[in-house]
């Protein structure tokens, strides 16, 4: 009888899920990919099979499915029908924060869940939902093994000196340090390098994860040595709705001079800034690229500028650069953004092959380019599934 694994990524108003089948031999195969969106509003479940064919498209009236536990009941029902006769052997979760302690995934116990709850203040918009999904699974399947995979874990190898802020030392001891995020995406890319780009697998690589959230990670010998993200996922590059790093004096100014409350500042920094705030049009790069409005252009140019700046900084951390890798929604799909970033980075030795970039080739640079550039699709769900299987087999 075949076995399946469930992978969950619970956000504030959404629940993404994937089901992986364990083949007799070879790589895990995604059999279902789906999400419930609009939790708390008018929820909508959509699921496709591994080949992209629609399996389910369900809309509920508002108030019918309001939280993760109810969404999971609906997902569980779908899976029971779809995988009748197959055994669910475990659930892997994306958990945004593992603190300084966790440099590897963790088999979750009730005691471990309490320690993870201690990181809620460090990631108040993500961690509570991640943990709610773990509790909700226990309600449905009390003995099912569950594994927490942390977005911070891959960054625990970054240079110790780079983990500090220039604050009094006791703040570091109290946990105010650079953690880094998007670690599951970077780990996936690092693990694929030996097979898809062996010539750079042991080199100095900056990976640009450019999606709704965006960050850069400096990798050497497939281990993280630095990240553009810090204490929270607000730091570093400008993103869809987040500003990236800003002068902390701006927050003081908004509090003291403009009279904003902490909740208003949180809303401003997480939901109203970035591409959306600067353009006044959208946080969706496709819409900005299609727009003729000057502020759409401004937002794109600033997005590229900030990446170029941070690329220079992480190249300094690495002591040089062998390759730049693009991944996630914008990195994998936007020909124009990749072109602009590579052209800004010509000084580093990136000699872009325009035609290869247009056709979406894996390798974007010309033969002989001192620094190579690549597009490698990320797969955080597969990374979580692999970790979950590994821990279940121990």
Catalytic residue numbers read: 151
How many residues does the structure list for the chain?
394
Nearest-angstrom CA–CA distance, 153 and 181? 8
**Least distance from ligand ADP to the Cβ atom of residue 212, Å:** 4
Residues 194-213 close enough to bind ligand ADP by CB under 6 A? 211-213
**Least distance from ligand ADP to the Cβ atom of residue 187, Å:** 16
Residue 277 binds to ligand ADP (criterion: CB under 6 A) = no
Residues in CB range of 345: below 8 A, 6 or more apart: 308, 311, 324, 371, 373
Residue 230 binds to ligand ADP (criterion: CB under 6 A) = no
Q: Binding marks (x or -) toward ligand ADP, 31..60, rule CB under 6 A?
A: ------------------------------
Q: Which is nearer to ligand ADP, 158 or 185 (CB)?
A: 185
Comparing CA positions, the residue from 300, 73, 325 lying closest to residue 192 is 325
Residue with tokens 């992480």: 314
Indicate which single residue of 49, 76, 163, 284 sits in contact with ligand ADP (rule: CB under 6 A): 284
Tokens of 357: 């970039």
Q: What is the DSSP letter of 38?
A: -
Residue with tokens 């819409």: 287
Residue 240 binds to ligand ADP (criterion: CB under 6 A) = yes
| Dihedral pair phi/psi, residue 355, rounded to 5° | -70, -40
Interface with ligand ADP: number of residues (CB under 6 A): 13
Q: Which is nearer to ligand ADP, 213 or 236 (CB)?
A: 213
Nearest-angstrom CA–CA distance, 194 and 85? 37
- Half-sphere exposure of 84 toward its Cβ, with a 13 Å CA cutoff? 2
Nearest-angstrom CA–CA distance, 181 and 23? 31
**Least distance from ligand ADP to the Cβ atom of residue 262, Å:** 25
**Least distance from ligand ADP to the Cβ atom of residue 39, Å:** 16
Comparing CA positions, the residue from 45, 51, 175, 187 lying closest to residue 118 is 175
Q: Which is nearer to ligand ADP, 308 or 333 (CB)?
A: 333
Residue 300 binds to ligand ADP (criterion: CB under 6 A) = no
Indicate which single residue of 88, 330, 350, 389 sits in contact with ligand ADP (rule: CB under 6 A): 330
Comparing CA positions, the residue from 194, 228, 200 lying closest to residue 214 is 228
Indicate which single residue of 174, 286, 295, 370 sits in contact with ligand ADP (rule: CB under 6 A): 286
**Least distance from ligand ADP to the Cβ atom of residue 266, Å:** 19
Indicate which single residue of 232, 241, 279, 334 sits in contact with ligand ADP (rule: CB under 6 A): 334
List strands edge to edge, sheet with 44-49: 54-59, 44-49, 29-37, 15-21, 3-10, 87-95, 146-150, 106-107
Residue 328 binds to ligand ADP (criterion: CB under 6 A) = yes
291, 292, 293, 296: CA torsion to nearest 10: 50
Looking at 36-44, 83-91, 282-290, 384-392, which segment touches ligand ADP (CB under 6 A)?
282-290
Tokens of 326: 């693009």
Q: Which is nearer to ligand ADP, 327 or 372 (CB)?
A: 327
**Least distance from ligand ADP to the Cβ atom of residue 228, Å:** 15
Indicate which single residue of 183, 190, 329, 372 sits in contact with ligand ADP (rule: CB under 6 A): 329
**H-run or E-run covering 58:** strand 54-59
- C-beta of residue 186 within 8 angstroms of C-beta of residue 171: no
Looking at 140-148, 192-200, 301-309, 329-337, which segment touches ligand ADP (CB under 6 A)?
329-337
**Least distance from ligand ADP to the Cβ atom of residue 43, Å:** 18
Tokens of 383: 């990374």
Instruction: Name the pairing type of β-strands 15-21 and 3-10.
Output: antiparallel
User: By the criterion CB under 6 A, which residues form the site for ligand ADP?
Assistant: 211-213, 240, 284-286, 289, 328-330, 333-334
């Amino acid at each position: 009888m075949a076995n399946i694994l469930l992978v969950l990524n619970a956000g504030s108003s959404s629940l993404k899920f994937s089901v992986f089948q364990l083949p007799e031999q070879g790589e895990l195969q995604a059999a279902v990919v789906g999400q419930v969106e609009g939790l708390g509003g008018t929820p909508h479940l959509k699921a496709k099979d591994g080949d992209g064919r629609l399996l389910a498209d369900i809309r509920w009236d508002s108030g019918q499915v309001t939280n993760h536990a109810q969404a999971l009941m609906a997902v569980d029902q779908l899976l029971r029908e779809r995988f009748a006769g197959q055994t669910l052997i475990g659930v892997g979760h994306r958990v945004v924060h593992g603190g300084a302690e966790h440099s590897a995934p963790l088999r979750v116990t009730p005691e471990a869940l309490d320690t993870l709850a201690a990181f809620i203040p460090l990631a108040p918009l993500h961690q509570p939902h991640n943990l709610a999904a773990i509790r909700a699974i226990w309600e449905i399947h009390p003995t099912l093994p569950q594994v927490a995979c942390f977005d911070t874990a891959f960054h625990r190898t970054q240079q110790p000196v780079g983990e500090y802020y220039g604050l009094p030392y006791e703040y570091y001891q109290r946990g105010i340090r650079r953690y880094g995020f998007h670690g599951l995406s970077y780990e996936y890319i690092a693990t694929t390098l030996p097979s898809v780009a062996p010539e750079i697998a042991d080199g100095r690589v900056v990976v640009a994860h450019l999606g709704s959230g965006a960050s850069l990670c400096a990798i050497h010998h497939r281990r993280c040595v630095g990240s553009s993200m810090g204490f929270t996922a607000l730091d570093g590059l400008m993103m869809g709705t987040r500003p990236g790093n800003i002068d902390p004096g701006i927050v003081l100014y908004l509090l003291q001079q403009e009279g904003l409350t902490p909740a208003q500042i949180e809303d401003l920094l997480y939901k109203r800034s970035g591409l959306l705030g600067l353009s006044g049009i959208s946080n969706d790069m496709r819409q900005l690229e299609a727009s003729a409005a000057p502020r759409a252009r401004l937002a794109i140019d600033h997005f590229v500028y900030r990446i170029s700046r941070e690329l220079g900084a992480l190249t300094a951390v690495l002591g040089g650069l062998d390759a730049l890798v693009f991944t996630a929604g914008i990195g994998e799909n936007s020909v124009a953004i990749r072109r602009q970033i590579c052209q800004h980075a010509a000084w580093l030795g990136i000699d872009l092959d325009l035609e290869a970039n247009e056709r979406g080739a894996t390798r974007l640079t010309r033969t002989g380019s001192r620094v190579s550039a690549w597009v490698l699709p990320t797969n955080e769900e597969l990374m979580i599934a692999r970790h979950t299987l590994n821990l279940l087999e121990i």
